[in-house]
Amino acid sequence: MPKMRYAVLKLGDLLEFVEMPADHVYQLTALNRRLHKELNKLTAANVPALPHVVAECDALDIVDNACEVLHGLEYMNGLEKAFAALDEKSYPLISLLTEIRALQAQLEQWYEDELDT
C-alpha cells in the first residue's frame, strides 16, 4: 500500500483535507505558497479564494462527518480549472498554470502507475 500524506488547508473558518502521495505533498505546499505570493498581482474579477496550507501530516483521523478528505488529483483538477477560467489581462498567468499543471500531471502519472501495479 502506498504511503499517503495529508495537507490541511484553511480558508476562513473552513478546513479542507487533501490526501496525496507522501512524496508530493511538499510540492502542493510549495505551490500554494507561490500562488499566494502572486494572487495580489492578478487583476481578473474572478480570482478564486485560495486556502492556505496550514499543516502536513502522515495520519489523519477525522471525527467530524462534515469534514471530507479530498483526493489529491481531484483537488488539483479543481485548482487548474479555477485558474484556467481567469480572464487575466495584466498578469502573465501562464507560469502559474504551468506549475499547477506540472503537479497535476505528476499526480496523474503516479495514480496511473499505482493502478498498473
Chain segment 26-63, per-residue pLDDT in tens: 999 999 999 999 998 888 888 999 999 999 999 999 99
pLDDT of residue 2: 74
β-pairing verdict for 52-57 and 4-11:
antiparallel
For the chain, what percentages of helix, strand and coil (3-state, to nearest 5) are there?
45, 20, 35
Q: What is the pTM of this model?
A: 0.91
pLDDT number for residue 1: 64
> Does residue 102 surpass a pLDDT of 90?
yes
CB under 8 Å to 22, separation ≥6 — which residues? 2, 3, 4, 5, 58
54 close to 18: Cβ distance less than 8 angstroms: no
> Does residue 86 register a pLDDT over 80?
yes
Q: 54: left (phi > 0), else alpha (psi -120 to 50), else beta?
A: alpha
What single DSSP character describes residue 11? Answer: E
* Domain ranges within the chain, ordered by starting residue: 4-116
| Res. 73 pLDDT band, cuts 50 70 90 | very high
Percent of the chain at pLDDT exceeding 90: 72
